[in-house]
Amino acid sequence: MANYVFGALLLHSAGKPVDEAHLKKVMSAVGDVDEAKVKALVSSLDGVNIDEAISKAAMPVAVAAAPVSAGAAAKEEKKDEDLSKKAEEAAEGLGALFG
């Protein structure tokens, strides 16, 4: 079904109407056409503003990226703490040798 959605997006970006005839042409260029999938997709897109749907779908992706980077920063901070702790332990060991 993803190929059919990509076909519809291709038609939309080319400025062509997303209807059964145009979607069938696009899908026939790729391979076999499933009439039921074409009809289902075209009917589900009836009355949908595709540009608005794309812009709304893109927002959660940008928001979701922030927690991932915060988690990476926490891991980096933990790694720095571990390294400084190991350096202190090594210095204590060397102090005992020359103490």
**Which one-letter DSSP state was computed for residue 31?**
S
Q: What distance in Å separates the CA atoms of residue 79 and residue 76, rounded to the nearest whole number?
A: 5
Identify whether the C-beta of residue 58 lies closer than 8 Å to the C-beta of residue 39: no
Chain centroid to CA 44: 23
| Position 55 in a domain | no
Which pLDDT tens digit goes with each residue over 18-72? 999 999 999 999 888 999 999 999 999 999 999 998 888 876 655 555 555 666 6
Supply the pLDDT for residue 17.
Answer: 94
pTM: 0.56
Give the structural domain span for 7: 1-48
| Position 36 in a domain | yes
| Position 69 in a domain | yes
| Position 54 in a domain | no
Supply the pLDDT for residue 99.
Answer: 46
pLDDT at 85 over 80: no
SS3 state at 49: coil
